[in-house]
Amino acid sequence: MKDFQLGKFTVDDKSPVVIIAELACEHGGDMNTAKRLIRAAKVAGADVAKLQLHVIEEEMLPNIIKFWAGSMDEVLRRVNIGTLEQHKELKLYCEELGIMYLCTPFCMAAADMLEKVGVDAYKIGSGELTNIPMIRHIAQKRKPILVSTGMSTINEIIETVDVLHQEKAKFALMHCVSEYPAKYEDLNLKMIDVLKDKFGCVTGFSDHTDEIYSAIAAVSLGAKIIEKHFTIRELQGPDNNVSLDPKQFEQMVDAIRKVETSLGASKFVHEEEKSIREWAHHSIISKVDIPLGTMIASEMLTVKRPGNGISAKHLGEFINKKVKKNIIANTLLSWDDIN
């Protein structure tokens, strides 16, 4: 697997998982609320605070896509933070707090604006996976690209990856199911490893469930980047039902850090195991009194704890051997006891 540079984070098989707090439009278009969310995400343990940038007139036809709260373009106008100056300010604020700023552009104009912001990387949403002209446009900016793969086929992912390779782009793929919230039976978390093997790249999981468990499971299956929606409940933002609050997010981060620590692939006796091994393993024991010169029969021996004698695995080597001294029952045998 090729490593992937996301800002200051080098992501590879041995690196810590990078955890992204997806703030989306939970700020409702208010800069102070956006900063409040960024602060809360930092405190909760996020490595990255991700926002969205919509240049609405470049992104969609007006009054066509209908939501319960109105047409999508009108809804976005109410909750969008959409100027260059605003995003420069938010990026600077993230830098002051020590959390990486990341943003999803939803059209080429938004990507061009983010280039002026001075972003370290780009996030491509699942809806833009098949927007090949936009993928190529962003790849030509020569910044790392994080690509979500929700609501797509494997062939569509192949087409997008081919373009990224053509442009010699550095990229990582995020397994994703674009349901809000996503159903467990649809998650297919083993796709994380499938994407890694098929494309030879860093893979992650963009999680749209309403809890912490799926992200934790994804880490155990090889996800090196986790993206999770984040909110403050009182905001009642548009993604509230698939977002974690600060306490939940902190619990997820804590669990991920513990799980990733446990994912080694070495097998040896740990220092802390040695004292337990001494009493928990089994040794060869005389089951009965065995007089000097007796040839040992199998029924004369047994194995019992503790394990600080001759290991039970050598039991067969004592059969038909003569003892060199009188041995009483329930004695730990040694190699010096036999000829």
Give DSSP secondary structure letters for 192-223.
Answer: HHHHHHHH-S-EEEEE-SSSSHHHHHHHHTT-
* Residues 250 and 325 both lie in one domain: no
Q: Structural domain of residue 314, as residue ranges?
A: 271-337
* Residues 28 and 126 both lie in one domain: yes
Q: Is residue 266 situated within a structural domain?
A: no
* Residues 162 and 67 both lie in one domain: yes
* Residues 234 and 177 both lie in one domain: yes
* Residues 155 and 174 both lie in one domain: yes
Q: Is residue 182 situated within a structural domain?
A: yes
Residue 141 has pLDDT above 90, yes or no: yes
Domain endpoint, select from 199, 229, 261:
261
User: What is the per-residue pLDDT across 298-320, written as a single tens digit (0 to 9) for each?
Assistant: 999 999 999 999 999 999 999 99
User: What is the per-residue pLDDT across 166-200, written as a single tens digit (0 to 9) for each?
Assistant: 999 999 999 999 999 999 999 999 999 999 999 99
* Residues 283 and 173 both lie in one domain: no
Domain endpoint, select from 233, 261, 289:
261
Total domains present in the chain: 2
At 3, list the tokens.
């490593």
* Residues 249 and 326 both lie in one domain: no
CATH number at residue 321: 3.90.1210.10
* Residues 284 and 177 both lie in one domain: no
* Residues 94 and 178 both lie in one domain: yes
CATH number at residue 137: 3.20.20.70
Q: Is residue 96 situated within a structural domain?
A: yes
Q: Is residue 1 situated within a structural domain?
A: no
User: What is the per-residue pLDDT across 106-139, written as a single tens digit (0 to 9) for each?
Assistant: 999 999 999 999 999 999 999 999 999 999 999 9
Spell out a b/e string for 35-66, using b for 16 or more CB atoms within 10 Å of the CB, else e. bebbbbbbebbbbbbbbbbbbbeebbeeeeee
55-59: average pLDDT: 94
Q: Is residue 3 situated within a structural domain?
A: no
Query: Distance (Å, rounded) from C-alpha 308 to C-alpha 306?
Result: 6
Say if strands 9-11 and 4-6 run parallel, antiparallel, or are unpaired. antiparallel
Q: Is residue 223 situated within a structural domain?
A: yes
* Residues 78 and 191 both lie in one domain: yes
Do residues 223 and 12 make contact, with C-beta atoms less than 8 angstroms apart?
no
The single-letter DSSP state of residue 46 is -
Query: Distance (Å, rounded) from C-alpha 161 to C-alpha 164?
Result: 5
Cβ neighbours of residue 127 closer than 8 Å, sequence gap 6 or more: 106, 151, 178
pTM of the predicted structure, to 2 decimals: 0.91
Query: Distance (Å, rounded) from C-alpha 211 to C-alpha 207?
Result: 9
Q: Is residue 69 situated within a structural domain?
A: yes
* Residues 133 and 278 both lie in one domain: no
* Residues 139 and 199 both lie in one domain: yes
Domain endpoint, select from 238, 261, 284:
261
Using pLDDT thresholds of 50, 70 and 90, give the confidence band for residue 241. Answer: very high
